[in-house]
Amino acid sequence: MHLAGGRKGAGIISAHHSTSSGPDSLDQLIDRAKAPVIVARADHPISRSEISGNALKVLYRLKDAGYQAFLVGGCVRDLLIGMHPKDFDVATNASPEEVRRLFRNSRLIGRRFRLAHVRFGQQIIEVATFRAAGAPMAPEPDLDGVTDESAEEADDDGLDRVHDDRGRLLRDNVYGTIDQDVWRRDFTCNALYYNIEDFSIWDYVGGTDDVRARTLRLIGDPETRYREDPVRMLRAVRFEAKLGFSLHESTRAPFETLAGLLEHIPPARLLDEFLKLFLAGFGERAFDLLQRHGLFKHLFPATAANLATETDGLAQRLIHAGLANTDRRVAEDRPVTPMFLFAVLLFGPVSAAAQRRFESGMHPGAAIADAVDEVVAVQNRRIGIPKRFSIPMRELLALQPRFHRREGRRALAFLSHPRFRAAYDFLLLRAEAGVEDPEIARWWTEIQELPQDAQLQRIGADSAEGGQADGPPRRRRRRRGGRGRKAPAAET
């Protein structure tokens, strides 16, 4: 990839800039790189035919209205390495309100970052206004996923940039120029701007070199950037897993001392990062990297403690089997659910908590359900698990002991349970990982494939209608109050 000259009237800077050598101020970094390297259209592989038609509509309308308009971030990076971006994000010098006036199909969202979402049917093009310079450097919006729309109105308190006492940025709505905006991006490979004016790429920080080298390098002082937004550590791992890039040593080194900052991130935001890490087709590799970098224990402390103390490695094998299975389903474009992955990741601590209840004489199903509630209550302090996931997960795990009862009509009745399929899939996974007897999994697989008569014969049930498989029929209990008891009169 040949790097062409800079903008007309601007000097040419080297193709690689020092972006993380020390705790330089933002003004010092800008002074060293007042102009970008311009990669001309002839010198890069990005074609408009690979760009979403809706993203092009946004870019051209902004340009025709007299504004600067660039594709930015992950979509440019992915196009450079031959991947097909899922999302296309736009950066402009138009304010959010000006974008709103240009696009009737847009809405303004976000308190932390004021953004415009331009909707075309199911596709959303995210449009962000260039942000201004000023120390400390602020985190960028997540350019590899649509920003949460749950907070639509900005707080009207007159404060545009707010930090907490740990240096984490809470709000950043100070607008500026592209020359300032670039320093608010997180990684050099995400700080590349595709200019719709002449189809060139603007590179202020050596991102094209790092894309070629498949290296993840933070812009600015890594410790400062992580303190401003600790989730950047998870983003680094996500890109490492997704892209196959390597972390630059300066990017990886602060993990050991700063990983604990993740414990102060709102659980709802960590849930969003969990979904991006584990439901995008590279979950197994992401799990290994989170463990290698010492981050997993700050997301799933109970699971990490269980893995550290287990002697047979069964929980570790179950997690790998579950994540590999989810990755295959994503690759095959089949549905996946966070509920199933939470069951996989929390199975170890749930089993340990349930065992204590078994030993006290509690019924297996009730013991597991109670154990799930205990573990989820602790887990919610780190990653918030919505009830739409935790309740079916509790049912799935509480049903596992029923697979050991294979006689009588109750076994056949289990086949029609609304959670049977999910519980059965989890049984297969446990058998694959060596956590459950494979013979039990085989029996339940075979029974589903038999016709009803053969099913009855297999379980040894009495084929007579209403018969019982286990012993003589039980006497029907009489209704309380006797046969002639009248129903209470309706209230008037």
- For the CA atoms of 367, 373, 378, 383, what is the dihedral angle to 10 degrees? 130
Distance in angstroms (rounded) separating the CA atoms of residues 397 and 205: 50
Kindly list the strands in the beta sheet with 115-120, ordered across the sheet, starting from the edge strand earlier in the chain.
Answer: 37-39, 201-203, 192-195, 69-72, 89-92, 123-129, 115-120, 106-109
Phi, psi of 195 (to 5 degrees): -90, 120
Q: Which residues are catalytic?
A: 87, 89, 186
Residue recorded with tokens 């800008």: 30
Contact 194, 72 (CB under 8 A): yes
List beta partners, residue 175.
131
3-state secondary structure of 446: helix
- List the structure tokens of 109: 């969202």
Distance in angstroms (rounded) separating the CA atoms of residues 376 and 346: 8
List beta partners, residue 128.
91, 115
Phi, psi of 126 (to 5 degrees): -90, 125
- List the structure tokens of 395: 């049912």
- List the structure tokens of 98: 């000006």
3-state secondary structure of 82: coil
> By C-alpha distance, which of 109, 136, 105 is closest to 123?
105
Residue recorded with tokens 């600790």: 230
